[in-house]
């Protein structure tokens, strides 16, 4: 393959994992697009790519028209502010929404395969379910501005009748190597690991709904290696379009997750339940579960990692060794 594959957000968590996945196939003609001074270049220090382009330079070059479909085969657009606590709406409108519109319009004009990251945060409190049926897009009410910024673009795609021309992926709760730099937005597995190493115990939020015991709030947790497989399925299948969930279809509680981390470390389980911060209560999801029917119908058949085995792989082969995907 002589043309380049662009991965925006390519130095970040999921982005660097996708670059790793491409490298595993022997693909190295990759343009990584990300912040000029990314907080953790270690994510890509062991990976092979042909060019690193600052995200503002990439955007400006799209407007200048210096590239076309002879240069770029596919754009996997994963770059965004992913903080669920971000309060600057104007920033998210430009960085998450308008930037995605700009890249999408360029791709469509040039006939370049375009895959973008949406988010399960668009589903809000889950009261309307977690179906990736595009007829329901307008009904969802995200609980935070990050989720809204992803919802804005999903709605733009539908409004402009582009559901049969591009691919959107609603990522659920992703965890795994290369998330070290994400600070407060890291998965709870790495946070639990650090707490166990430091104090021998893990603190979990109490439940404020009678239907859920403390620590029994449920999530669809997906290992980043499965995310890579599901994402690259759409890289391979060029005649598949639309918006799809990227999850496992299974749910596990925070208690199960923490128990698996303790078990990986051969440590006694010690959990303390603490009050949830007031600012988080109104936007806390008690349940998420990806409806995987649509992606399976599209032809994706690979089974996800076993929950405990995935956590053990992450803990023992990455967190314990302080290593990255390579």
Distance between CA atoms of 158 and 180, rounded to whole angstroms?
Answer: 35
State CA 33 to chain mean position distance.
16
Which of these is catalytic: 97, 123, 146, 244? 146
Distance between CA atoms of 117 and 17, rounded to whole angstroms?
Answer: 14
Q: 166-195 burial, b if ≥16 CB within 10 A, otherwise e?
A: bbbbbbbbbbbbbbbbbeeeebbbbebbeb
Structure tokens of 34? 């990300």
Distance between CA atoms of 45 and 139, rounded to whole angstroms?
Answer: 42
Greatest alpha-carbon pair distance for the chain in Å reads: 59
- The answer to whether 182 is a known catalytic residue is yes
| Residues contacting residue 78 through CB under 8 Å, at least 6 positions apart | 7, 8, 9, 10, 12, 14, 15, 18, 116, 117
The answer to whether the CB of 227 falls within 8 A of the CB of 275 is no
Which of these is catalytic: 48, 93, 182, 294? 182
Task: State the distance between the two ends of the chain, measured CA to CA, in whole angstroms.
Answer: 21
The answer to whether the CB of 326 falls within 8 A of the CB of 20 is yes
- The answer to whether 146 is a known catalytic residue is yes
| Residues contacting residue 58 through CB under 8 Å, at least 6 positions apart | 6, 8, 31, 33
Catalytic residues: 146, 182
């Amino acid at each position: 393959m002589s043309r380049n594959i662009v991965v925006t957000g390519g130095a970040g968590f999921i982005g660097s994992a996708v670059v790793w996945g491409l490298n595993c196939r022997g693909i190295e003609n990759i343009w990584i697009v990300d912040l000029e001074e990314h907080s953790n270049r270690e994510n890509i220090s062991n990976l092979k790519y042909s060019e690193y382009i600052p995200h503002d330079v990439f955007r400006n070059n799209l407007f200048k028209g210096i590239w076309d479909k002879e240069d770029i085969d596919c754009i996997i657009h994963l770059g965004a502010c992913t903080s669920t606590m971000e309060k600057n709406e104007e920033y998210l409108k430009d960085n998450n929404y308008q930037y995605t519109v700009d890249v999408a319009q360029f791709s469509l004009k040039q006939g370049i395969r375009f895959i973008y990251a949406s988010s399960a945060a668009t589903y809000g409190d889950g009261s309307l379910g977690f179906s990736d049926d595009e007829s329901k897009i307008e009904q969802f009410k995200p609980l935070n501005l990050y989720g809204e910024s992803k919802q804005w673009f999903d709605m733009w795609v539908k409004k402009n009748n582009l559901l049969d021309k591009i691919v959107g992926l609603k990522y659920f709760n992703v965890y795994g190597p290369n998330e070290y730099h994400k600070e407060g937005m890291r998965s709870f597995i790495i946070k639990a690991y650090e707490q166990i190493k430091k104090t021998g115990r893990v603190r979990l939020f109490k439940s404020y709904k009678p239907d859920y015991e403390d620590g029994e709030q449920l999530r669809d947790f997906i290992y980043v290696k499965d995310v890579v497989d599901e994402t690259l399925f759409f890289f391979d299948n060029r005649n598949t379009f639309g918006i799809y969930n990227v999850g496992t279809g299974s749910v596990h509680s925070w208690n199960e997750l923490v128990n698996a981390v303790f078990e990986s470390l051969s440590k006694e389980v010690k959990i303390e339940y603490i009050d949830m911060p007031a600012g988080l209560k109104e936007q806390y999801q008690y349940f998420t579960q990806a409806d995987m029917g649509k992606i399976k119908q599209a032809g994706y058949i690979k089974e996800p990692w076993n929950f405990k085995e995935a956590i053990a792989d992450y803990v023992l082969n990455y967190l314990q060794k302080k290593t990255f995907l390579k």
